Amino acid sequence: MSPISRRTALLLGGLGLAATATGATGILMTLSARPSPTTGDALTQPPLFQSSAGRLDVRLEATQATVPLAGRPASCFSYNGAVPGPTLRVRPGDSLAISLVNKLREPTNLHLHGLHVSPQGNGDNAFISVEPGSTFRYEHRIPEDHPPGVYWYHPHHHGNAADQLFAGLFGAIIVEDPVPLEVSRERVLVVSDTTLDASWNIRPPSAVERMAGREGRLLLVNGQLNPGFDARPGERERWRVINACVSRYIRLSLEGQPWQLLGIDSGAPDPADDATEVLLAPGNRADLAVTAVPGESILLARPYERSRMGPGSPDGSIPAAGTTLATLRVAGVAGPALKPLGGRPEPADLRSLPVDARRHLAFGGGGMMGMMDFTINGRRFDATRTDTTAAAGSVEEWTLSNASPMDHPFHLHVWPMQLVEEGGLVPDAVLYREVVNVPAGGQVRVRVAFTDFTGKSVYHCHILDHEDLGMMGVIDVS
């Protein structure tokens, strides 16, 4: 998924983007009771755990707790009593140990989204179930050549992954650059959505919302509603943005400030694309460098129509002008001049390598009575069945097709995908993604190098309601 150019943004605007009569600042719940959400608080950063001497050993407690959301105490799920959970900062080559303590009343587990780590044993194993009252110790080793960037973690227990993410279980992971970029400061911006009832509890979705992919009535950054933060003119900030929504796509834009796109997911951007917006499907991340100019600017989530299902379809809750995610205020004495940012090394181009196998993965279309068919290649997820077997060290090309009436963001665990064709166009640059959007009625081609690790893992739609409903498959690399 490449950044949106001005030309593409105009095209999207002509495709009937959803509009409502609500205002452009914040998606607010319709509640007659108090308390009500508050806006404009100072942006806070999640707690931080950083590796030392090549190792990071952390304890994450998944529990139900009363945590501030949108400025009010809310009953939700959290890691270590915070939403988002702690940010984990590691370096390539580090060891990362996570003791997951399950204090919930339901099973859970932990997925390190986007990290290229082993899926076996106590690694990034999607088949682990951590039962209520138990603790599981995950052990990961980050490869020495792991791409730097922003990643994240969240539950992946089949059947309740969407519920647990929606309730507050998510956090950021940062893999450091070998040579730090010259910036004035960094900010982690985790975008999430949820819906709270009149008592400020997480409201369960309806069956229709699950089928469409739920979209919460509160759109938050670091658990806050339109937080504000300050910078001085000339300062360069690095923003690590994560779309941690269950189903919502975000067309990210920043009015009045120049920005440089450092990467989407773990991939470098297309240098030929004049990006004014970045489209983040659920699970996507953006790494941005923002050079501050005087004035007040808003970070916007513009609407994106991800469904052709007509009235009542997703994304209608975002006004056409966009929803304010956060507000940046720039004033004061100018900061010191900074050197221009250099480019990143381009990753290996799999298009220059022979293809060992070609596969076709089809997302289910409409089922009986117009209901969605949540399948890949006609089959719903079965943890005991292997759907795809790939040879270790091989390069495969996958055609991802979508006959359904809504977009499906495709995520493959462990091994990143290189985009080789999108919308009939071949990218000029080498673009890697961990989540690739497959538009309704469209197809995308990707290549995957099954290097470094073997074992069973999964691929699925990252609208996690759809994954929970069965749109997931098992892959065995051996």
HSE (side-chain half, CA atoms, 13 Å) at 351: 15
* Pair 124, 236 in one domain: no
Give the pLDDT confidence of 391-417 residue by residue, as tens digits: 999 999 999 999 999 999 999 999 999
Mean pLDDT (the chain, rounded): 88
Q: Is residue 377 part of a domain?
A: yes
Give the pLDDT confidence of 194-222 residue by residue, as tens digits: 999 999 999 999 999 999 999 999 999 99
Calculate mean pLDDT across residues 449-467.
98
How many domains does the chain fold into?
3
Strands (E), 8-117: 48-50, 55-69, 72-79, 87-90, 95-102, 111-113
* Pair 315, 440 in one domain: no
Q: Is residue 335 part of a domain?
A: no
Query: Chain centroid to CA 417: how far?
Result: 15
Q: Is residue 235 part of a domain?
A: yes
Q: Is residue 338 part of a domain?
A: no
| Structure confidence at residue 34 as a pLDDT band (50, 70, 90) | very low
Per DSSP, what are the bridge partners of residue 52?
55
Q: Is residue 170 part of a domain?
A: yes
Say what the pLDDT of residue 10 is.
27
Final residue of a domain: which of 175, 198, 220?
175
% the chain with pLDDT above 90 = 77
| Structure confidence at residue 429 as a pLDDT band (50, 70, 90) | confident
- Domain with 114 in it: what CATH number? 2.60.40.420
Q: C-alpha angle 446/450/454, rounded to 5°?
A: 145
Strands (E), 372-471: 388-390, 395-402, 408-412, 417-422, 432-433, 435-438, 443-449, 455-461
Say what the pLDDT of residue 269 is.
63
| Structure confidence at residue 13 as a pLDDT band (50, 70, 90) | very low
Q: C-alpha angle 57/143/47, rounded to 5°?
A: 35
Say what the pLDDT of residue 309 is.
66
* Pair 18, 131 in one domain: no
| Structure confidence at residue 320 as a pLDDT band (50, 70, 90) | low
CB 79 within 8 A of CB 205: no
Answer yes or no: is pLDDT of 316 > 70. no
C-alpha closest to that of 252 among 287, 217, 224, 218: 287
Answer yes or no: is pLDDT of 26 > 50. no
Q: Is residue 16 part of a domain?
A: yes
* Pair 115, 233 in one domain: no
Give the pLDDT confidence of 234-292 residue by residue, as tens digits: 999 999 999 999 999 999 999 888 888 999 998 766 544 456 789 999 999 999 999 99
* Pair 471, 406 in one domain: yes
* Pair 367, 440 in one domain: yes
Token pair 């509640």: residue: 31
Answer yes or no: is pLDDT of 11 > 90. no
Final residue of a domain: which of 175, 191, 220?
175
| Structure confidence at residue 366 as a pLDDT band (50, 70, 90) | low
Q: Is residue 310 part of a domain?
A: yes
Q: Phi, psi (5° rounding) for residue 468?
A: -65, -30
* Pair 108, 64 in one domain: yes
Q: Is residue 34 part of a domain?
A: no
d(CA 79, CA 77): 7
* Pair 188, 312 in one domain: yes
Give the pLDDT confidence of 139-169 residue by residue, as tens digits: 999 999 999 999 999 999 999 999 999 999 9
Calculate mean pLDDT across residues 427-437.
93
* Pair 275, 152 in one domain: no
Final residue of a domain: which of 175, 206, 223?
175
Calculate mean pLDDT across residues 54-71.
96
Say what the pLDDT of residue 264 is.
93
Say what the pLDDT of residue 314 is.
56
Which parts of 99-184 fold into alpha helices (H)? 161-166
H or E element in which residue 186 lies: strand 185-194
* Pair 292, 379 in one domain: no
CB 419 within 8 A of CB 1: yes
Say what the pLDDT of residue 27 is.
39
CB 35 within 8 A of CB 200: yes
Answer yes or no: is pLDDT of 6 > 90. no
* Pair 93, 205 in one domain: no
Give the pLDDT confidence of 103-146 residue by residue, as tens digits: 999 999 999 999 999 999 999 999 999 999 999 999 999 999 99
Query: Chain centroid to CA 359: how far?
Result: 25
Give the pLDDT confidence of 83-96 residue by residue, as tens digits: 999 999 999 999 99
Domain that holds residue 236: 4-29+183-330
Say what the pLDDT of residue 364 is.
87
